[in-house]
Amino acid sequence: MHATVRSVIEAASDAQEDFCILDTEASPEHLSRGTAAYADAMLLVVEPYFKSLETGRRMAALAKDLGLERVALIANKMRGEADLEAVHEFAQRNGIEVGGIIPFDEGMPGAERAGTSPLDFAPEGPAVAAIEQIARGLADGSVAGNGAIRA
């Protein structure tokens, strides 16, 4: 698995206008196997619960230890202000940037139940729009290391 991940990253274009977003499993193992050496940034998807946030903090620390300068949390499944406040407070307390916010979207579990991608299932959904905004922020440099995502 890790050799495959490295080969995908190595094969990606080095051109400034091209980028590759790789969704890896929620495990520090890929970091310990050297795949981080090929990455420019790491976005850690967290939910507004202590265990998820703490895992994000640990992964951010490990990524920084491995030399990744661009590390940010992506707050996922946000249901309201209380969730957002919990993530922002945790991030601020631990010196981690919040690089994007994805609202809770019933289209996401609906896509899972249908066995299809959220983009195909609900392309106009709020979560898909938020993910697109985060991807655009990566492309223009406004996510992970250059301040919070710009609208």
pTM, 2 dp: 0.81
Whether residue 100 is contained in a domain is answered as yes
pLDDT digits (tens, 9 = 90+) for 15-59: 766 666 766 766 776 666 666 666 778 899 999 999 999 999 999
Instruction: Kindly give the residue spans of alpha helices, DSSP state H, lying in 46-125.
Output: 50-65, 81-93, 107-114, 118-121
Whether residue 23 is contained in a domain is answered as no
Handedness of CA 124, 79, 145, 45 (dihedral sign): negative
Domain range holding 91?
A: 39-140
CATH of the domain at 103: 3.40.50.300
pLDDT digits (tens, 9 = 90+) for 66-89: 888 889 999 999 999 999 999 999
> In the prediction, which pLDDT does 148 show?
43
Contact 24, 30 (CB under 8 A): yes
Which region among 3-7, 95-99, 124-128 has the lowest average model confidence (pLDDT)? 3-7
Count up the domains in the chain and report the number.
Answer: 1
Whether residue 134 is contained in a domain is answered as yes
7-24 per-residue burial string, b: 16 or more CB within 10 A, e: under 16: eebeeeeeeeeeeeeeee
Whether residue 16 is contained in a domain is answered as no
Whether residue 27 is contained in a domain is answered as no
Amino acid identity at 64: K
Question: Which residue in this structure is represented by tokens 């050496």?
Answer: 37
pLDDT digits (tens, 9 = 90+) for 84-118: 999 999 999 999 999 999 999 988 999 999 999 99
DSSP conformational letter for 123: T
Whether residue 34 is contained in a domain is answered as no
